[in-house]
Structure 1
Amino acid sequence: MRSVFRSLLTPRWLLLHALFIAATIGTVFLAVWQWDRAHEAGGSFQNLGYALQWPLFGAFTIFLWIRVMRMDLAREREEADPEVAEEKPAEQPEVRRKRPLVPPPAPRVEADEDPELAEYNRYLAELNESDSRAS
């Protein structure tokens, strides 16, 4: 177990730790800057909104940092102990979609049914044709 946590002290991870720490500290500085800016003469509610958003970005940075560390540690545990990987349940079979991703084309509209819609459809067809000729 100790060697698993030792992997978080490799040069790659030390660089990632530095990056996450810098990003978190940067969000704190940006929040303070926006807060001060909101209270100056030229400040606005937009600055106040940013001052409240930057701590959320910092919290997300910390969440992401922890998540990436956990994923890396779990991967290393699986590589170190292959029995753990075998104990995982088999993957679920792929579920088929009941409807297609792209809907079928709409039925054609004739001029006697809806003249405006038929004219608009002709206009769109002309645009499509001119665009395909330009390509």
Structure 2
Amino acid sequence: MADLKILLIDDSKSIQTFVAECFSNDPDTKFLTANNGKMGLEILEEEPDVDIVFLDWEMPVMNGIETLDEIKKHHSKVIVIMMTSKNGAFDIQKMLLHGATDYIMKPFTRDNIFDKLQEILTKRSLKK
């Protein structure tokens, strides 16, 4: 990955640790974490050049959909990848209607993360 700033918003310490380790060997990626949606929005205000947000659906303080709505309202160009164990068509449609770029199903692997990122970044470069 080249020069990316990624924000992970998830209340699970094990998910934070796992995803951070996925990017730990990439010196071109700056990795930030937040424990809940409110904290994530504060980080986005301080770090407006975040490229990608990995966003958990179920969190305390603000759930993922509420957080997604706020991100899209104030940072519309940010790519948001929802992370969820919800796999019903209604839930997937809801994420996408609220502005998620895509989603990744829990539990996920390192390969799932990088495959999804590559897919999204390839689509984005083709649009330019």
TM-score normalised by the chain length of structure 1: 0.20
Higher radius of gyration, 1 or 2? 1
TM-score normalised by the chain length of structure 2: 0.20
Higher helix share: 1
Q: Whose relative contact order is higher, 1 or 2, with alpha carbons under 8 Å and at least 6 apart? A: 2
